[in-house]
Structure 1
Amino acid sequence: MTTTTPGELTAPAEPAPPKAPPPATVRRHWSEHGLVFTLPFLVVYGLFLVWPLLSGIRMSLTNADIAGTRSDYIGFDNYAEALTDPDVWSSLWNTLWFTLLSTVPLVVVGLVLALLAHHLRVVAWLWRLSWFAPFLLPSGVVCLLWLWVIYPSDFGFADQLLAEFGLHPGIGWLTDTRYAMLSVVLTTIWWTVGFNFLLYLAALQSIPQHLYEAAELDGAGAWHRLRHITLPQLRSTTGVVLVLQLLASLKIFDQVYIMTGGGPDESTRPILQYVYQSGFTGYRIGYASAISYIFFALIVIVSLIQLRITRRRREENAL
């Protein structure tokens, strides 16, 4: 022990040397990469999407049947046959025709209903519920309801209504090639327009109110506010609605299968119903798989084109 006399100065203590940094970790724990949280999803994704996708591609290159008695490799023969099959092209045209007939009304009607609901102040909840409720119904229930409405006889509500006004009843809503597809389109619009209506209504409620107040101060009328404020603000929502509606319409199956069965004269049979008939009625699973992937390629092309158009519009608006 050292002592110091009064007046003697003590030297300051030397600082402790810095601690050496910990050695670099060579192996990180899985939780630091998030693999613990994403692994269940990746397993389910691989089992129920990636594996069936690869298995279907393999099956499309064979002559596999539904019984599994044969699965010989035949290369691209199924694809070559599908491209020359007139039934493939006719069912594909029916699918595209349904998409053209249904997409535009579903977008426009959904927007109009949302505009009305947004400005409605009396029983607004009832208006919203009445248009969104059908979207919650299963496809079988919707089709049975509309079969009762447009059944082509005195039993159908539509024919009874026409008879009350002295008009010619007995229209073949589902048995005439002129009206069958239109009947399916009308059913689809009533059933699914509620989803587009809800998206537009949410987008309308997010538009800043001060834009309309400034326009009113400048003397802009209702039409000018709609044209120069509302519609431009809904442009991104319209792009989303259009993409979703195109994909949903291209995958039409339930309504046609229940209401018309693809008739009359296969005038309403979509491509997915022909895939079903080829695989489960014609027992040609390999051929049905090839048709499915041709249709899948078409959907991918449509989606890419639509996304490219949407991205170009966003870039032009940014400039």
Structure 2
Amino acid sequence: MATPTIKKKKTWQPYALYFILPSFILYTLFVIVPTLGSVYYSFTSWDGISSDVRFIGLANFVEIWNSPRVHNALKNTMVLTISLVILENIVAILLAVFVDKVRWLSKIFRSIFYFPTLLSGIVMGFVWAMMLNYNFGVVNQMLDKLGLGAFAVDWLGDPKYAMLAVILSTVWKGAGYYMIIYLAGLQGIPQELNEAASIDGANGWQQFRHITFPLLAGSVTVCMVLAMISALKIFDQIAVMTDGGPGFETETLTYLIYKVGFGELRQGFGTALALVLFFIILIITVFQVKVLQKREVEM
């Protein structure tokens, strides 16, 4: 006679107790509680140091709505974001296509193009600040050696070029990261499609336009969303390279939050501005994802 097997009753309590609960406690302490605290402080005139926390209602948000400095920072943020999203993705796609086509030393090229992403924003900012220095920077020295000294300008001190310098240096740092994502997408495209198009007489550009790029729609969605979020909250490069200047020409919302919160000791106003930036990022991200996913379906 066979011995009856006893089925052990499975329970979820141990998993909740030993795995979910500690994570939930940490998440609550370090995310939920500070977030709720930020919402509260955004309605106050707290300076970030004293125990005097005075409730002022919507005064901070009214000031944000009417402040020319905030409007200028928002304009700079939008210019920077649009430029970075477009340029980083274009450069990343070009690099990915190049690396995908190269048969010799492809791993070396991948490493070279990806290397800048390993640098922190602070280190990258210092490197580019030295390279673009008007007096001893390598960029102006090279222009001078090539007989183009007339084109040497104060890249970080001239209002006409400061934002351009920040954009180009950030593209140099970030394009390699998105290149890896596009490269993964390219390697998932069946080669038979391009071979068939080539037999039908399609040249390289036609193959890219009608086959490769449409099939990269998923990678484009991911990279554009990531690039947009990264650009909207850019801080390190501006802090090191321009300090928001010259004047307020490169001051973005993120850097303005830091300046008013810690430099001017207006934590209440800075927190309110941070909440505004959060909702801006949320709205743009949702809109962007919906538009790009619709494009994926159409393709």
1:289 aligns with 2:271: yes
Structure 1 distance, partners of 2:22, 2:202, is 55
Paired residue for 2:87, among 92, 101, 105? 105
Structure 2 distance, partners of 1:149, 1:156, is 4
1:162 aligns with 2:146: no
**Residues 40, 69 of structure 1: alpha-carbon distance in 2 compared, 3 angstrom cutoff:** closer
Deviations 1:164-210 (A, max 9, x none): 12221541101100000001111101111110111111111111222
Q: Which amino acid aligns with 1:77?
A: A
1:261 aligns with 2:243: yes
My pick for the range that moved more, 179-188 or 201-210, is 201-210
Identity of aligned residues (%): 34
- How do residues 36-51 of structure 1 correspond to structure 2 at under 5 angstroms? 36-51=18-33
Q: Which structure has the larger Rg?
A: 1
Q: Which amino acid aligns with 1:162?
A: L
Q: Which amino acid aligns with 1:96?
A: M
**Residues 152, 30 of structure 1: alpha-carbon distance in 2 compared, 3 angstrom cutoff:** same
- How do residues 182-193 of structure 1 correspond to structure 2 at under 5 angstroms? 182-193=164-175
TM-score (norm 2): 0.92
What secondary structure is seen at the aligned counterpart in 1 of 2:291? helix
What secondary structure is seen at the aligned counterpart in 2 of 1:126? helix
**Contact in 1 for aligned 2:221/2:293 (Cα 8 Å):** no
**Contact in 1 for aligned 2:217/2:295 (Cα 8 Å):** no
- Aligned counterpart, 2:129: 147
Structure 2 distance, partners of 1:108, 1:201, is 13
Deviations 1:67-99 (A, max 9, x none): 123112221111111111111111111111111
**Contact in 1 for aligned 2:73/2:252 (Cα 8 Å):** yes
Structure 2 distance, partners of 1:282, 1:225, is 55
- Aligned counterpart, 2:219: 237
- Give structure 2 stretches of 5+ with no counterpart: none
**Contact in 2 for aligned 1:160/1:169 (Cα 8 Å):** no
Q: CA RMSD in A?
A: 2.0
Q: Which amino acid aligns with 2:30?
A: F
The CA deviation at 1:152 is 0.8
TM-score (norm 1): 0.86
- How do residues 83-102 of structure 1 correspond to structure 2 at under 5 angstroms? 83-102=65-84
My pick for the range that moved more, 244-253 or 72-81, is 72-81
The CA deviation at 1:272 is 1.3
1:136 aligns with 2:118: yes
Number of aligned pairs? 293
What secondary structure is seen at the aligned counterpart in 2 of 1:195? helix
1:224 aligns with 2:206: yes
